[in-house]
Chains A and B, each alone.
Chain A
Amino acid sequence: MYGKGRIIPALILFLGLMTSPIWYKSGEASKMPKPEKPKDYTECVAPTQEMRTSHMVLLNQWRDDILREGGARTGKTPNGTEYVRSLQNGCMKCHSDKKKFCDACHNYTSVKPYCWDCHLQPKEAM
């Protein structure tokens, strides 16, 4: 073998970098986020799984519909419950604690939505 002194350390460095997520001091896989669900309400505007994957799309649709198309401020769930289509006055009415609800999953998956650049959290509003 030629160039041993350079190739072996370089190869070890490469393998180390490639496997770095494994030996990086990583939290336990079982430590899943547990967003706190509201106690007084049982129904959301869409089924749970749909909200899990697509709530950000829904928020964008509301914004476009209400602010740009002049759509209605209120909507109805399949069960007929009326709700306000609004982040601050709708979502946050039930899910009132941002830290315990929004941030739980967002921090886990490193998502930093820019909602709060403009909107106020309920506590701050008071």
Chain B
Amino acid sequence: MRILNPFIAVLALIAVGLVAAQVPGGQALMGIVLPYLAFALFLGGFAYRVMQWAKSPVPFRIPTTCGQANSLPWIKQNKIDCPSTKLGVIARMILEVFLFRSLFRNTKAEMHEGPKLVYGSSKFLWLFAILFHYCFLIIVLRHMRLFIDPVPGFVAALEFGDGFLQIGAPVFYQTDAIFLGAIAFLFLRRVMLSNIRYISLPADYFPLFLIFGIAVTGILMRYVFRADVVAIKQLTHGLTTFAPAIAAGQISPIFFIHVFLVCALLIYFPFSKLMHMAGVFMSPTRNMINNSRMVRHINPWNDPNIKPHSYAGYEDEFREFMKEGGIPVEKE
């Protein structure tokens, strides 16, 4: 059920998109009103989530220490995995955000005959995760040709590089195929490995199905069902210049299904685990300096009006009462 329900949800979204594209007035709703609404919800929700996180105090130093901490001079410190300087944290964050270092360091524990516990490197998750994310980035940037006129040079360069193999017409994009393969791996990983399947929830499957649906409808639109790109750009470029217009009868329903799924993703984004896009920058376990032995960290919510009250001061204040009560005192 945890797999089936999100799958049915995505199928239902596709059906809604398909029906709405045929209903009179539905195309304007799906092509103009919904994208604006979804984009506003995406930006607003995103900013809201980030502000909520920013309001949460992080009173303790809690970086994950993945290597030797700064210690005595003759013990070599792991400056990236247990950073004690700002520079170390910056290096750690860059490696994390651009190269997914924590996934690269992934290990797998296996029980062998003996019994013997064996740890091994496991890089497949890292490989497919990084393929997935970078393909997604390239695909999103490639779509900018539909939102900007004249099309900037870097978008044209990306398209050229992506269609480098020059297969067919319209030319085949490598990222499309790699993207689908990577999503398929990320899904199969959750289904095939029993321990991962055990901890997988509908919130894990739903984004996978949704993004898979977006990719498939996009690919079908480009290679199979065909769409009038000029009419589509008239609409999408109209959205960014706030003068949207739909050329009646020129845009095929598959486009509206694609757009509907993208809108669903945008609306879903701020409420879901996809917020790791912002969260990766705000994880205290990654972005904190491990210097709690060098610097005294004061709890940020301490009330400055409440002064420290030592035991000696306490005894001075209550000595008489303590003596009366028979409680031993240090100073007579």
A residues within 8 Å of B by Cβ?
1-4, 7, 10-11, 14-15, 18-19, 21-22, 24, 26-33, 49, 52-54, 56-57, 59-60, 105, 107-114
Please tell me if B201 contacts chain A, counting CB pairs below 8 Å.
no
Closest Cβ of chain B: how far from A48's Cβ, in Å? 10
Known: A2-B55, A32-B230. A112 touches B243 (CB 8 A): no
Asked if residues B148 and A11 are in contact (CB atoms below 8 Å), the reply is no
B279-314 contact mask (Cβ, 8 Å, vs A): 1 or 0: 001100000000000000000100000000000000
Known: A28-B241, A59-B169, A109-B230. A21 touches B156 (CB 8 A): no
The 9 closest A-B pairs by CB, nearest first: A56-B169, A110-B151, A21-B147, A110-B145, A53-B226, A29-B238, A27-B149, A21-B240, A29-B241
Docked complex Cα distance between A1 and B57 (Å) = 8
14 more A-B contacts (CB under 8 A) besides A18-B42, A27-B149, A57-B226? A1-B51, A2-B300, A7-B282, A14-B278, A18-B43, A21-B148, A26-B237, A28-B243, A52-B230, A52-B250, A53-B226, A60-B168, A60-B169, A110-B145
Docked complex Cα distance between A83 and B53 (Å) = 67
Please tell me if B28 contacts chain A, counting CB pairs below 8 Å.
no
Please tell me if B326 contacts chain A, counting CB pairs below 8 Å.
no
What are some 13 contacts across the A-B interface (CB < 8 A)?
A: A1-B55, A2-B58, A7-B282, A15-B43, A26-B149, A26-B240, A29-B234, A29-B238, A32-B234, A53-B226, A60-B169, A109-B229, A114-B171
Asked if residues A109 and B50 are in contact (CB atoms below 8 Å), the reply is no
B residues within 8 Å of A by Cβ?
42-43, 46-47, 50-51, 54-58, 144-152, 155-156, 159-160, 166, 168-171, 226-231, 233-234, 237-238, 240-245, 250, 252, 278, 281-282, 300
Residue in B closest to A55 when the chains form the complex, CB atoms: B169
Q: For B144, what are the chain A residues with a Cβ–Cβ distance below 8 Å?
A: 21
Q: For A110, what are the chain B residues with a Cβ–Cβ distance below 8 Å?
A: 145, 151, 155-156, 159
Known: A27-B149, A56-B170. A49 touches B250 (CB 8 A): yes
Residue in A closest to B47 when the chains form the complex, CB atoms: A11
Asked if residues B229 and A26 are in contact (CB atoms below 8 Å), the reply is no
Closest Cβ of chain A: how far from B324's Cβ, in Å? 46
Interface centre among B50, B57, B252 (most CB of A within 10 A): B50
Docked complex Cα distance between A105 and B148 (Å) = 14
Asked if residues B149 and A52 are in contact (CB atoms below 8 Å), the reply is no
Residue in B closest to A63 when the chains form the complex, CB atoms: B169
Closest Cβ of chain B: how far from A58's Cβ, in Å? 9
Known: A1-B54, A18-B43, A21-B240. A53 touches B227 (CB 8 A): yes
Docked complex Cα distance between A21 and B95 (Å) = 29
Asked if residues B238 and A49 are in contact (CB atoms below 8 Å), the reply is no
Known: A1-B54, A52-B230. A19 touches B43 (CB 8 A): yes
Closest Cβ of chain A: how far from B270's Cβ, in Å? 12
Asked if residues B54 and A7 are in contact (CB atoms below 8 Å), the reply is yes
Q: For A114, what are the chain B residues with a Cβ–Cβ distance below 8 Å?
A: 166, 171
Q: For B237, what are the chain A residues with a Cβ–Cβ distance below 8 Å?
A: 26-27, 29
Asked if residues A49 and B228 are in contact (CB atoms below 8 Å), the reply is yes
Docked complex Cα distance between A118 and B55 (Å) = 61
Residue in A closest to B300 when the chains form the complex, CB atoms: A2
Closest Cβ of chain A: how far from B96's Cβ, in Å? 15
Residue in B closest to A18 when the chains form the complex, CB atoms: B43
Closest Cβ of chain B: how far from A100's Cβ, in Å? 15
Closest Cβ of chain B: how far from A80's Cβ, in Å? 26
Q: For A56, what are the chain B residues with a Cβ–Cβ distance below 8 Å?
A: 169-170
Docked complex Cα distance between A14 and B44 (Å) = 12
Known: A14-B46, A21-B147, A30-B243. A105 touches B169 (CB 8 A): no
Asked if residues B149 and A108 are in contact (CB atoms below 8 Å), the reply is yes
Asked if residues A15 and B233 are in contact (CB atoms below 8 Å), the reply is no
